[in-house]
Structure 1
Amino acid sequence: MELQFLGTGAGMPSKMRNTSSVVLNLSAEGEGLWLFDCGEATQHQILHTSLKPSKIAKVFITHLHGDHILGLPGLLSSRSFLGGEDALHIYGPVGLEEWLTTTFQLTQTHLTYQLVFHEVTDGIVFENEHFLVTAKSLRHVIPCFGYRIEQKPLQGKLLIDEAIKKGVPKGPLLKQLKDGEDIELPDGRIVLSKDVTGEPQEGFTVTILGDTRYCDEAIELANKADILIHEATFDMNTGDLAKDYGHSTIGDAATTAKKAEAKTLIANHISARFMPKDITGLLTQGKTIFPELYIAEDFTRFEWKNHKVIQIE
């Protein structure tokens, strides 16, 4: 699993940061790309990466403020030109479907694929064999959601020596056992997958929050998450502004991570008032509360490997 930030700014684009968007790359897990929020010019940001819009399988929108959605019409249109044919599932608050449908009708935009809309409320918004996505309302100035993405336990490792002892030949039968399937040997004996595989391995949990002031709901969504992505629009000296505008400080983000017992915090949605020289100060403020903290920049990539977060760009 990888995370790639396409926009890490707040409110409007700046020279250093575009508006909000992050990709959860689940290609290795067979789920394609999941896009969370799509601020203006997100498709331009994608052009500077190896990501392919045609591979985007799901879009999750946290709320309907422009810096989180204005890039959607252009990106969805370009996905047609770039060979996107598979249905695209879009999850978001009430009003999102109406806005996009009206936009496409008025601009006479034709898509080569189906849009499948899912109106989000608190609770489970998506589940399949491998993943569970839960949404919860946050505390912003308009309805806004956070998403908790949980990978279900993985099949345990194949104990090859045990399988060979039971007479399993090398080849496709071993893969079937590894994938959790019971098999029948040529002599008619049945070998159970559970007898030749180790204990199931824990998957990862990523919590991606929309805009929010400090709240218990965020802590609940981030409970023991491996990675928490939390907005940090303000520093700890401008806490009153954060509350007035329904946003968080770097201290609020760090406190949420600490109380949630998250393993890693990645802060984003940084106000344009903070220049590159100010980021060290923000990090210092946050790390006094929660040491395992990163502040994302546009195009920053993180990899989840061996139960650890590794920044790779």
Structure 2
Amino acid sequence: MDLYFLGTNAGVPTLQRNVTSIGLRLYEERKALWLFDCGEGTQHQILRSQLKLSKLEKIFITHLHGDHLFGLPGLLSSRSNQGGLSPLTVYGPPGLKPFVDMALELSQSRVEYELNVVEHEGGVVFDDDTFRVEAALLEHRIDSYGYRIIEKDRPGQLNFELLKQYGIKPGPIYGQLKNGASIQLDNGDMLHSHQVVGEPKKGKIVTILGDTRPCDNVLQLAHGADLLVHEATFLHDMQDTARKYYHSTAYQAAVAARDAGVNQLILTHFSSRYKDEHQLEPLLDEAQTVFPQTALAMEHHLFPVQ
């Protein structure tokens, strides 16, 4: 599991950075790509990346501001032409479905796959055998949500040497034992799953926030996460401006990461006043004084979830 940043700028794109979009690669976990936000130009960024639209399974929109949304109609209509025929579900706040429906209808776009748009107002927005995704309302000028992506614990590894000693050959019985069942051996003894299966592999937790001022739900969503993605639109000397426009500073993001007990913080959604990587360094320095395990989101860079 890792993150791939397609856009890290706030508000408008610049020559150095695109507007917000993040890919969560789940190639090992479910052979799929999830996308968080889809600002203008996202599909162009994907063409320049290692990501494939054919693997895109879900898109989560944090809020309906254009820098997080305007790339969606183009990406949806292009997906068929790039080999994406599997079903795709898009999640987001109320208003997302009429936006998507109208854009595709008026442009007479052909979508040759099953497209589902799910509007939500927080809570559990997705849940299956491998992942659960929770959402909560943040504090922004319009309804903006953060997402907590929870990978469920996976069964431990089978002890193949021990199975061989019990005379069990590879086959369906391996799957039964790994899934917690007990079997009867030829001598009549019972062999229980815990005797031949190691400790469960603990799932990862990733929290990806939309635009927000500091608020209680940030800590709720980020609590104990392995990785937190938090906006850092301004340096802290502009905290009054940040509050006025419902954004956060790098310092505030670091405080949230520290207080939520996360393992790693990645800053993103940078104001266009910070033109290049050199001008972003003060944001990183500011955050690391509070939370040393902080990194800057860099476009077309992979960040493993550790």
Shift in Å, 1:45: 0.3
Q: Distance in 1 between matches of 2:46 and 2:177?
A: 36
Aligned Cα RMSD in Å? Answer: 1.7
The residue type paired with residue 137 of structure 2 is: S
Deviation at 1:174, TM superposition (A): 6.9
The whole-number CA distance in structure 2 between the counterparts of 1:297 and 1:108 is 35
Alignment-derived partner of residue 59 in structure 1: 59
- 2:293 matches 1:288: no
Cα contact 1:32–1:55 (8 A) shared by 2? yes
Instruction: Report the CA distance between 1:188 and its aligned residue.
Output: 8.4
1:138 matched residue in structure 2: 138
Determine the C-alpha separation between the residues in 1 that align with 2:89 and 2:160.
40
Query: 2: CA distance between counterparts of 1:74 and 1:155?
Result: 40
Task: Give me the whole-angstrom Cα distance separating, in 1, the residues matched to 2:302 and 2:120.
Answer: 28
Shift of 1:2: 1.3
Q: Could you tell me which residue of structure 1 aligns to residue 159 of structure 2?
A: 159
Q: CA deviation at 1:241?
A: 0.6
Aligned to 2:223: 223
What residue ranges of structure 2 are gaps of 5+ in the alignment? Answer: none
- 1:126 corresponding residue in structure 2: 126
Q: Is the 8 A contact 2:126 2:134 kept in 1?
A: yes
Could you say which residue in structure 2 is the equivalent of 1:172? 171
User: Does the CA-based 8 Å contact 2:178-2:197 persist in structure 1?
Assistant: no
- Deviations 1:68-120 (CA, angstroms, capped at 9, x unpaired): 00000110111011121111111000000001101111111110012112111
Residue 233 of structure 2 is aligned to residue 233 of structure 1: yes
Q: Say if 1:181 and 1:173 are closer, same or farther in 2 by CA, change over 3 A.
A: farther
Structure 1: stretches of 5+ with no match in the other structure: 309-313
Give the 3-state SS of the residue equivalent to 1:237 in structure 2.
helix
Q: How far, CA to CA, are the matches of 1:206 and 1:140 in structure 2?
A: 21
Instruction: Work out whether residues 250 and 286 of structure 1, in 8 Å CA contact, stay in contact via their aligned partners in 2.
Output: yes
Q: Contact (CA 8 Å) 1:33, 1:55: kept in 2 or not?
A: yes
Displacement of 1:200: 1.4
Residues of 2 paired with 1:257 and 1:109: CA distance? 42
Partner of 2:258: 258
If the length of structure 2 is used for normalisation, what is the TM-score? 0.95
Conserved? CA contact 1:156–1:200, under 8 Å: yes
Q: Secondary structure at the match of 1:238?
A: helix
Kindly indicate whether the alpha-carbon contact (under 8 Å) linking 1:177 and 1:196 is maintained by their aligned counterparts in 2.
no
Question: What secondary structure is seen at the aligned counterpart in 1 of 2:76?
Answer: helix
The amino acid that maps onto 1:133 is: V
- What does the per-residue CA deviation read over 1:13-62, in whole Å, with 9 as the maximum and x for residues that have no partner? 01111000000001110150000000000000001112111210000000
The 2-side partners of 1:185 and 1:135 are apart by 45
Partner of 1:113: 113
TM-superposition CA deviations, 1:193-212 (whole Å, max 9, x none): 33211221211000000000
Which 10-residue stretch deviates more, 176-185 or 39-48?
A: 176-185
Residue 311 of structure 1 corresponds to none
For 2:8 and 2:26, locate their aligned partners in 1 and report how far apart those are by CA, in whole Å: 20
> What is the identity, as a one-letter code, of the residue corresponding to 1:2?
D
Q: Which deviates the most, 108-117 or 255-264?
A: 108-117
The alpha carbon displacement at 1:177 in A equals 5.1
Q: Which residue of 2 aligns with 1:213?
A: 213
In structure 2, do the counterparts of structure 1 residues 8 and 178 end up closer, same or farther at CA, with 3 Å as the change threshold? Answer: farther
| Deviation of the 1:165 alpha carbon | 2.9
1:198 equivalent to 2:178? Answer no
Structure 1 residue 172: Cα displacement: 3.1
Give yes or no for contact 1:138–1:217 (8 Å, CA) kept in 2: yes
Select between 145-154 and 117-126 the one with higher mean Cα deviation: 117-126
Aligned residues between the structures: 304
Change (3 A) 1:105 1:180: same
8 Å CA contact 2:177, 2:183 repeated in 1 = no
Aligned-residue offset at 1:178? 6.5
Instruction: Give the residue type in structure 1 aligned to 2:148.
Output: R
The CA deviation at 1:159 is 2.2
Structure 1 contact 158–177 (Cα < 8 Å) conserved:
no
Distance 2:191 2:73 in 1: 52
- The answer as to whether partners of 2:177 and 2:192 remain within 8 angstroms in 1 is no
Question: Which residue in the other structure is 1:148 paired with?
Answer: 148
**Aligned to 1:118, what secondary structure does the other structure show?**
strand
